Each structure stands twice: as structure tokens, then as C-alpha cells.
Structure 1
Amino acid sequence: RVLLAFEEAEWEADDESRRAKLTFVIIGGGPTGVELAGAIKDVASEILPREVRNINETTARVIIVDGGARLVAAMPQDLGKRVHDGLEKMGVEVIQNAHVSNVTERGVSIGDTFIAAENVFWAAGVQGHAWIRALGVEFDSAGRVVVGADMSVPGRSEVFVVGDAAHATDVATGKPVPGLAQAAIQAGRFVAGVIGRELDAAAPEDRPAFSYRDKGSMAIIGRGNAVAAVGNRHFGGFVGWLAWGLVHVMFLIGFGNRLFVMSEWFWNFVRHSRRARLITGDPAVHVKELRGKREAGERAGAGAARS
């Protein structure tokens, strides 16, 4: 969708419409929103200007909106400031302590301010599936099932819920278990262990309580810039970016895959290149639509000039 927006903007003849196509609004200032904002701005500023005429760091507008006082609020405060400063240095507009009140095909409303934008991305969290509300169980305001200390549904000890569909509380800290992949993996392994022990046991035994272990958090801001928090250690800038890359490579299967990915990343970093850029769907349909919009814009411009 992002690449198609750039393609449409390149073909667009009307300046106002082109600006709307080149305006990207990301709602949510967590790691997902930060990484998305940085990636879009990086493509628009560093890569596409060498290939197109109408897109550069000044024409592409990237805005990140968050309702809190700082970005990546789950991370330490010093890293939140690094993220804020890093995005602004890239040219990303950061709007904090603000809430989006309406989203239409034309743009977004933030309070009394309307921003014309054809590209709006939601990165402010997820909700439980609608069918959860029909199960007759307790759920929170986000539609997630409230589970007990053993990750089971209260009153239904044989039913477990983990991941984004679960609202769990860490008994060790009293805080909600975060909606992160590492939390879902840990909860899944915990539940598997509970089920396995009960299948092997001759008689029921008391279940342990799930305790979440925070292995750290990371967020990439842009090229050569990321933040990471592992325990009491905080990393930022190029060191944080290296840590982010190494952690992701470590989880790949096979030495060959790791070597290939590292070599690709190094090449892309040196050459300022992103070779894997795909617009999915039928190319002929996209080209036909783009040409039709361009011709319609040119006809409208010619008619205005004659009048």
C-alpha cells in the first residue's frame, strides 16, 4: 500500500491531490508506529528521490500521532527521548498528547485540526476478535478475555487463552502482561507445560501462576539508529541498531540464512538501497488506474487553463 501510494503520487497531476497521497499518518507511538514512520520516511528521503521526479524529503510528509506524553512509553524515558529526537531529525512530524477523533478517505481529524492524507495506519494496539464478546466470559474494554493466574478462563479451567486475545496479570509484579510476541510465546509454553503435567499426573495438582520475564525491548528508528533496553542497560544510536540486527539474525534458522540476511543488510546499508520492493496485485490494473487518474488530472488542468 505504501509503495502504491508513492506510485500514484508520481502520476498525479494535481498538486493538492499529490500532497494528500504523499501524506502518511501513523496513529500510535509504540514500537510499531515508530518503526513504520521511520521506514516510510527513509524510503521517501533516501531511496525514491533517485528514481522518481516528484518525491523527496520535502514532498513526503510523515506524521506520527500519540495520545501519551512520550513515544514508546513502555520503554525507559531516556530512550523515549532518543526516539522522539531521532524521528524529528529525520523529518517526521511528532504530535503528542493528542487523539484522532475521525478518519475518512480524505484524511484524519486531530481535535479541531484536519490533515488531508490518503494513507492512515493504525498502530495503537489491537482488540480481541468480535466473537469473544459472544462467549459469555469476562472481557476488558479492548475485547480481550480476562484470564486467571494460570491463563485459564475463570470457571472453565480446561480453557486457556494466550496472546493478543488474553488480558492477564503478572502475579509477581501485579502489572498487566504486555501484548508482545515474547509474552505470548512465554504464555504458550507455560500453558503447554500445565497441560502436559496434568495429562501425566494421576491426580489433579495445583497449577502454578504464570510469571512474565521481560527479556528486553527494541525499536528501530531509521538507518543506523535504534534503541534497546535489556535489563538496566540502555543502548541507542548505531550501537542500538547493531543490537537490533543481531537479535533478529540470531532467531533465523540455519547459518546460511543468517549469513545471507546479514550480507543483504550490509549491502543495503552501504548502497542506501531497498531492493525488495513489491506492489502486490495485478500490475496491469494498477497501471491502468494510474494512467486514468493522470489523464483525468491533465484534462482538468487543461480545462481550467482555457477558462
Structure 2
Amino acid sequence: MIDAALPHVVIIGGGFAGLWAVRALADTPVRITLLDRGNHHLFQPLLYQVATAGLSAPDIAAPLRHILRNQPNVTVLMEEVSGIDPAGHRITLKDGRHVDFDYALLATGATHAYFGHDDWAKHAPGLKSLDDALDIRRRILSAFERAEATDDPEERKALLTFGIVGGGPTGVELAGTMAEIARHTLNHEFRHIDPSHARVMLLEAGPRVLSSFDPDLSEKARLQLQRLGVDVLTGAPVAAIDAEGVQLGERHIPARTVLWAAGVAASPLACTLGVPLDRAGRVSVESDLSVPGHPHLFVAGDLATIQSDGRPVPGVAPAAKQMGKHVAAVIRDRLAGRPAKHFRYRDFGNLATIGRMAAVVQLGRWKLSGALAWWFWLLAHVFFLIGFRNRLVVMLNWTWAYWTYQRAARIILGKELKPGS
């Protein structure tokens, strides 16, 4: 049994920031409650692999209870939080119950942002969860199935046109992988269509893809995408998305499958804190990651905005892990009566995969592209997966896919996709 007299630390969110904070408090005399509306930790950098049928959901996720089974000071509850009262040290659950805390960490991440066009969401789903990934996989595979069944050449062309909005890492990874599926994975499997004739478009409003990378690597990524068969359209802001396709200025592109990778917004839980938020809905935290005016309440991961060494901390997995560990260190310092240290982000670089033997890597002044970058990306992602089983399964799946071009998770689950749904 956990000693009820110990200080109570409540951590909301079992992602990178939350899980790394829990682990870092393993030997601290506190009782921890981890709240998450799901029962698993998700390795989000590989979520696009589930969406494109390269991996199954369990390959990149693991039950939180299993991960923390040997940490006796943790209680895991699958609950959804509806509000937080910083002054009252109280968290309200969706069913109305309350959880009191001595220290709390809010690490619920981000959701999709459609820049004021929320009606686009049903036509252009984003990719943040396993449910999103399975929905996208169903849309992609169903498009080929419907194209095979129709006799209308214009409808077939629209079904075989795929638009990805947003040229960041997620958009680039989706576009490159979808081009490989069309040109290699589905080859010789249909009788009335040629999947290799599918058109994959990457639509980026800015002047270049992968804007967080140096311009020379962005250009190399664009060239690698084009070699895979992706139409890269930069300087192409989307004016509208509907069941028929995408509107780019005066130009309408019929596309029955459109995916959103253009923007994120902070979790709406931040609005319940009663503190100022930035334009993306994130909390401007203090240097120790606490909420201004509430030193016992912390925010980490995509929900926090802070600068380190004069630069904004990016919303990436390494930053979230470092934030979670830092919050745990601050809690230990507070319990011991020591002054809290300032958070400092260690930037280990940027990685993005484009397709088979194609990737870009930027580690400070060290830059890689092509096959060598792809091997570096692959090994780095396998290393950071949680659990030996996940690493083994992912390596086996990727090895099989490398030699055969096949994707083992091409099963359409759920209801049959209807146009515009």
C-alpha cells in the first residue's frame, strides 16, 4: 500500500513528458497518481507508420500499467480530466469527482488546429492518436478499393489523388510513404486500376518544406520527395477543403483523400487554469516550468511555451522528455527545501524520414541526407521505443518491408469509408 501521508503528485497525461516525470520520481518519497484518458503510452514519432499500414498499433504503444508495474509509488487511473483549480489544489474529473494534489503536472499535449476552419476536420483528419491513425489508414486503403470498383474515370482520378496539407516532418513522412505504397506495395494487386498512377501532393503554404531544417536540407528533402513521385507544391496556402477536394486560390483539385499535417493547438485543459495563454493556447511557464503564480503546478511538453538560451523550445519528443525529468527534479528540490533550477533544453537535432533509403538529419552543424540519414533515423527510432518487444517487432517489420516492399498492417477496420465522411 502507498503511504497516504506522503505528498501527492498528480500527473495528467501519459505521453513523453508525463511518463518521464513519473519514472524520474521513482525513488522520491511521494505518492503519484497518473491520469490519462487512454491506457497506453504512444510513441508518436512512428504514428504515421500505423496510418500508412507499415506497423500495427501495439508495435508503437505499450500499456501504462505494464510500463510502471515495478514502480510501487504510482497509481494509474484511466480517467479524463475536465478542469483544474490551481488555487484549490484540486483536479476535476469528467464524471464530477475530484482529486486533490500537493504538486501537479499538466502534460496533455496538443491537438489539431485548422486555423479557424474547424469544418475542414471531417474532410481532412489530422494525426495525433491511434484512433486518428486507424481512421487515416482506412481512408487511404478504401480509396484504392473504391477506385477499383468505379467505372467513372473522373471519379477514379479523384479517388487516386491524395493531398497532404503541411510540409513539416509529419506531412513529409506521410507523403513519401504514401507514394511508396502506390508505386510498390500495391503493385499487381488490382485489375482495373494501376496504383502507380496515383497522385500524391504535398501542399505547403510556406516557401519550403521542413522549415525547421536548414534550407539546403529542405531542398534535398524536396528533391527526394520528387524522386519518389510526390508533387511538392510550396507557396500553396489552402483556401478550402470539402468532400470533393482542396481549393488552392482559384484552383480546385479533386481529391477524395486529404490529410491534415499543417497545425497544432494546445490541449483545451490549459483554458481551465485561468492564466494567460499564447496564440496557440499554450501556457507561458516560468523558468522552472511552473505556472505563473502557482509554484506547485507545472506544465510540460507541447502544452508549454518557454525559451531556452534565447530560442523557443520546440514541440518535439526529446523536449517533452527533458521537461518531464526537469519537473521531477524541481519537485524533489521543493521537498528538500532547495531552490529550483532553471530548465535548459539540450537540442539533439532534427530528423525526418522521407521514404525508403531517403531521410534528412541535422545535428548542429552535422548534416546528413539520403541513405545514411535514413539508417541513422531508423536506428534512433528503434532505440527510443519502449520495451524490447516493440523494438524487435518494429525491426522485423521494417526488415520485411525493406526487402519485399510489403506492409503487414493493410487491414481495413471499422465502417466502410464514404465520400466526405
TM normalised by structure 2 equals: 0.63
* TM-superposed deviation, 1:245: 1.1
Partner deviation per Cα, 1:8-32 (whole Å, 9 max, x = no partner): 2222222212222221111111111
* TM-superposed deviation, 1:75: 1.2
Distance 1:164 1:8 in 2: 38
Distance 2:374 2:405 in 1: 16
Distance 2:189 2:178 in 1: 16
Distance 1:155 1:16 in 2: 60
Partner SS for 2:312:
coil
Larger radius of gyration: 1
- With a CA cutoff of 8 Å and minimum separation of 6, indicate the structure with the bigger relative contact order: 2
Distance 1:132 1:116 in 2: 38
Alignment match, 1:266: 399
Alignment match, 1:69: 207
- Superposition CA RMSD, Å: 2.0
Matched residue type, 1:275:
A
Q: Does the aligned pair in 1 maintain the 2:349–2:363 contact within 8 Å?
A: yes
| Matched ranges for 1:150-299 at <5 A | 150-170=288-308, 172=309, 174-199=310-335, 201=336, 203=337, 205-252=338-385, 258-281=391-414, 286=416
Q: 2:194 aligns with which of 33, 55, 61?
A: 55
Partner deviation per Cα, 1:105-161 (whole Å, 9 max, x = no partner): 111111221111121111123101334334321111111122121111111222111
* Higher strand fraction (1 or 2): 2
Q: Does the aligned pair in 2 maintain the 1:10–1:55 contact within 8 Å?
A: no
Alignment match, 2:146: 8
Alignment match, 2:184: 46
* TM-superposed deviation, 1:255: 5.6
* Higher helix fraction (1 or 2): 1
Distance 1:175 1:222 in 2: 30
Partner SS for 1:57:
helix
Distance 1:99 1:257 in 2: 38
Partner SS for 1:210:
coil
Structure 2 gap segments, 5+ residues each: 1-138
Matched residue type, 2:184:
E
Would you say 1:125 and 2:258 are equivalent positions?
A: no
Between the two proteins, what is the percent identity of the paired residues? 44
Q: Does the aligned pair in 2 maintain the 1:39–1:222 contact within 8 Å?
A: yes
Distance 2:390 2:280 in 1: 38
* TM-superposed deviation, 1:212: 0.9
| Matched ranges for 1:15-26 at <5 A | 15-26=153-164
Aligned residues: 280
Q: 1:142 aligns with which of 257, 280, 288?
A: 280
Structure 1 gap segments, 5+ residues each: 294-307
Q: Does the aligned pair in 2 maintain the 1:126–1:164 contact within 8 Å?
A: no
